[in-house]
Structure 1
């Protein structure tokens, strides 16, 4: 039997030689180590044999050389292990593949668990959402804030007039800078004065202050960019071969249309023109609006059903028992995290994309994968791209160009951010305890700590876990409790 088998193989090989099938002979002769040839055959015929039965496989292969090669490659003596491989969940391979299935499983589990908790909460405490959650009679008293919001349009018009006079060379550059300082400063102080003079709802005040900060950032960018464009235009007039003329992408032209588009566009950095999309997808916009309504409702439900009862039944975290304060913070951290994630999704993904689609604004990188941030400064670089680009363009790099050290420039960036966070929270609450300011400035040492840990351990998970714990589990619930009890104490003293 061995002799006949050998004779059969010899006969087969000789017949293949007679038919000049050199490619198949090559694959047969290389059989003991023919990993690459087998892989090529596998790739070539993979789609053909995907759903075939093992005992009928030869019948489905196309006739010719491929059939012979495939039949040989899948013999019982064919090696099943050809190279070194890691398990999919091992530390060396876990980030080299998709985990979409596990992500879907987590979503299913999250929905199931939280549905049970919601039903249990409703059975135990009932429906806690107040009838005046979306609208109340007190909202009618916020008309001064509404008028203040509408009057903010005056400041972009004033900035346009100043830039137009500068283009006509009716103003010197120091005078232009002086007027822009007056305009931008007034655009912030005026809403602050209105909110402090009026006993308005906190939500209305926060909305006005957020809009005020956006207007201020846009006005600064508008003035700074036009100043730079004027400098480039003047240097180009003096020497057409100057290096500045090589990097100038836009002609200096003060246009009211470009300013109007900039004031409503989802960006904080001014430029005379932007990349534009081809058309408006109306069906896509309708779906995003529906998602925005749904997630806004979910966010309101969590706030009213979970967060408000928790903070009302808690003590001041700095005046009570330490263990009690930690328990309240940890209990508040989960619903607060849900609200924060819903806020991010509604604002940075849904609303900004809706606005960009309606305005055909092309650059829609409003955030990056901040959830994978390995360090604290990595998170701040990816979390809010419009603000990050503004800080880099109009604050960080101007500091470096003027000889300011990099470390001090970073501290200055966080200082400006801390001021605006404090304004957006403290002014509507009529409380100046600097909790938001301290919270943002405390990020500065965290930047250096997480950078050090990242370099020391060379592990992307260390800094990421520190970020999630300090920022989401500890920091935000603590600030929420502090401001809530300070507001309640203020109202108690006023009453």
Structure 2
């Protein structure tokens, strides 16, 4: 008799509702290379970066000319011209910065307190202990599930009352463990770690492990239900069915895997490529040095020179600082994106032989804000859709309220990641995330319209809100609040 293959149900779309959604959906079902990887058969378009250059150089060039003649060889010539103008303009800024400030970078500029370093290391090594606790909880639940299946035929109830109570206790234990993982680290970062970089790294690690704990608990809960009720699960899980997946090795792999979504089995690469790993690791080191240099030499002086304007609410000067900061913040952000999502995660995936490496898509071509949030950080997007959006849709929520809950959840995490390390819970990151909802609604029609004009306008709105309004403004606000808290309202000379 031919074996019937189980095809996993798709995630709910905007207009569909799944009556009983399961957290067991196989998000990672096949091996895929990253968008900018040489292993990819097709080369992505970079028209979004062209639009960014046009926005930057709009005082010098007419956009209609660029849009009209940007095809074939003419497009290459225009791009070369844009790059040349950008290089020339930024070289002037480099010389101006050097003549005004000299060399600002130095190895002693970090001001790391020994206590911060020690507590940061303690937090880093204590956080994974919660994964061990989660494993013990699931090991207990798996034992109960095996015993329940062995005696299930003796009762008419598929889930006896005692078993339902036990599952609630298991859920409570997972919730308590995950809450302690995030809350203890957050309290240590806010009250005891003064250096914002160390605090940010600790808080980021805690948030990542917290999300992994939630995914581990939700997925195994539904795998346990499927095991007891003989419901089908995705075919990829066949090599490691529940409860055989409840092992320390399986959880350890998930801990280090470059994903936030737990699966008993992931697609794997054929072998480990040392050359590929060394290249990606070298890129991480080089880009990290570049970010450090750009931050110390260019971003910090600009931020410091904005303090008096922020203190006096000098709107004209604030706007001028915002425009000046927008360029360097965009460059730093792009370096950080490439270092993390292209180089760092690919290096980690190579070590773990993790096959699905679609950590991002061509977000720079996004014709709407919604397209950007779906493509720039795929691990977080996949977690949000699998464990928040899709379950809410399965419970009957409409698309709008479910999306609002996703962004509300994300807004809280953004505020924690920025506000706790800087000791300033001022709500700018929170409000910035919620403000994405009306921007998504405004740009959604542009994404659905056919033709280059609509997509170009949507892409321009994305870059404008991203480069000019979003990150530079948030950086100014948090730097001002941090300086005010530390009584450091004094500009660079």
Structure 1 and Structure 2 fold alike (TM over 0.5): yes
Matched, 1:462 2:475: no
Equivalences, count? 399
User: Would the aligned equivalents of 1:426 and 1:432 in 2 still touch at CA under 8 Å?
Assistant: yes
2 CA distance for matches of 1:110 and 1:344? Answer: 21
Pick one of 105, 119, 124 that aligns with 2:100: 124
Distance change >3 Å, CA 452–CA 193, structure 1 → 2: same
Select between 421-430 and 288-297 the one with higher mean Cα deviation: 288-297
1 CA distance for matches of 2:362 and 2:368? Answer: 13
Match of 1:386?
A: 379
2 CA distance for matches of 1:194 and 1:364? Answer: 33
Matched, 1:165 2:165: no
Select between 90-99 and 349-358 the one with higher mean Cα deviation: 90-99
Aligned positions of 1:442-461 closer than 5 A: 442-455=435-448, 459-461=454-456
Match of 1:371?
A: 364
Match of 2:253?
A: 261
Match of 1:331?
A: 324
Q: Deviations over 1:104-126 (max 9, x none)?
A: 66556645553453244223321
1 CA distance for matches of 2:419 and 2:357? Answer: 31
Aligned positions of 1:87-106 closer than 5 A: none
2 CA distance for matches of 1:181 and 1:103? Answer: 53
Aligned positions of 1:49-88 closer than 5 A: none
2 CA distance for matches of 1:468 and 1:310? Answer: 21
Distance change >3 Å, CA 137–CA 307, structure 1 → 2: closer
Distance change >3 Å, CA 423–CA 97, structure 1 → 2: farther
Distance change >3 Å, CA 443–CA 94, structure 1 → 2: same
2 CA distance for matches of 1:185 and 1:97? Answer: 57
Q: Deviations over 1:148-199 (max 9, x none)?
A: 1110121001111111111100772111111111011111100011122214
Pick one of 415, 421, 431 that aligns with 1:422: 415
Distance change >3 Å, CA 97–CA 391, structure 1 → 2: farther
Match of 2:470?
A: 475
- Find the structure with the greater CA-based Rg: 1
Pick one of 100, 109, 131 that aligns with 1:156: 131
Pick one of 297, 301, 308 that aligns with 1:305: 297
Q: Deviations over 1:233-277 (max 9, x none)?
A: 1221xxxxx6x3676844112121111000011000111111111
User: Would the aligned equivalents of 1:330 and 1:474 in 2 still touch at CA under 8 Å?
Assistant: no
Q: Which consecutive residues of structure 1, in runs of 5 or more, have no partner in the other structure? A: 1-88, 237-241
User: Would the aligned equivalents of 2:411 and 2:429 in 1 still touch at CA under 8 Å?
Assistant: yes
Pick one of 279, 284, 290 that aligns with 1:287: 279
Aligned positions of 1:22-33 closer than 5 A: none
Q: Deviations over 1:3-57 (max 9, x none)?
A: xxxxxxxxxxxxxxxxxxxxxxxxxxxxxxxxxxxxxxxxxxxxxxxxxxxxxxx
User: Would the aligned equivalents of 1:235 and 1:245 in 2 still touch at CA under 8 Å?
Assistant: no
Select between 154-163 and 164-173 the one with higher mean Cα deviation: 164-173
Distance change >3 Å, CA 357–CA 108, structure 1 → 2: farther
User: Would the aligned equivalents of 2:182 and 2:207 in 1 still touch at CA under 8 Å?
Assistant: yes
Q: Deviations over 1:414-461 (max 9, x none)?
A: 000000000011111111111110111110111111113445786111
Match of 2:32?
A: none
2 CA distance for matches of 1:297 and 1:248? Answer: 41
Q: Which consecutive residues of structure 2, in runs of 5 or more, have no partner in the other structure? A: 1-64, 146-162
2 CA distance for matches of 1:99 and 1:93? Answer: 7
Q: Deviations over 1:50-78 (max 9, x none)?
A: xxxxxxxxxxxxxxxxxxxxxxxxxxxxx
Match of 1:401?
A: 394
Q: CA deviation at 1:491?
A: 1.3
Matched, 1:437 2:430: yes
Distance change >3 Å, CA 462–CA 164, structure 1 → 2: same
Q: CA deviation at 1:142?
A: 2.9
Distance change >3 Å, CA 255–CA 97, structure 1 → 2: farther
User: Would the aligned equivalents of 1:450 and 1:463 in 2 still touch at CA under 8 Å?
Assistant: yes
Distance change >3 Å, CA 405–CA 485, structure 1 → 2: same
Matched, 1:180 2:181: no
2 CA distance for matches of 1:404 and 1:163? Answer: 30
Pick one of 113, 120, 124 that aligns with 1:138: 113
1 CA distance for matches of 2:209 and 2:410? Answer: 15
Matched, 1:276 2:268: yes
Pick one of 74, 87, 90 that aligns with 1:114: 90
Q: CA deviation at 1:129?
A: 1.4
2 CA distance for matches of 1:91 and 1:333? Answer: 24
User: Would the aligned equivalents of 2:419 and 2:425 in 1 still touch at CA under 8 Å?
Assistant: yes
Q: SS of the residue aligned with 1:169?
A: helix
Q: SS of the residue aligned with 1:128?
A: coil
1 CA distance for matches of 2:318 and 2:183? Answer: 36
Distance change >3 Å, CA 246–CA 158, structure 1 → 2: closer
